[in-house]
Amino acid sequence: MLLGVNVDHVATLRQARYRTMLDSPNAEPSPFDAAMDAKAGGADSITLHVRGDRRHVQEDDAFLVREECPLPLNFEMGNTLELLKIALRLKPDFVCLVPETREEVSTEGGLDVVSHAESLKPTIEALHNEGVKVSLFIDPVIEQVNASHSLKAEMIELHTGCFANAFGEERKHEVTRLQKASELGHSLGIQVNAGHGLNYDNLEELFTVSHLVELNIGHSIVARALRVGMTQAVKEMRALMSNYSG
**Which amino acids are annotated catalytic?**
49, 76, 196
How far, in Å, are 69, 172, 202 from residue 207 at the CA level?
30, 12, 10
Which positions ≥6 away from 232 have C-beta within 8 Å? 41, 225
For 43, phi and psi rounded to 5 degrees? -60, 145
Q: How far apart are CA 151 and CA 171, in angstroms?
A: 30
Distance CA 234, CA 207 (A): 18
Task: Name every residue whose Cβ is closer than 8 Å to that of residue 27 and which is 6 or more positions away in sequence.
Answer: 14, 17, 18, 20, 21
Work out the end-to-end distance of the chain between its first and last CA atoms, rounded to an integer number of angstroms.
8
28 vs 11: CA distance, rounded Å = 8
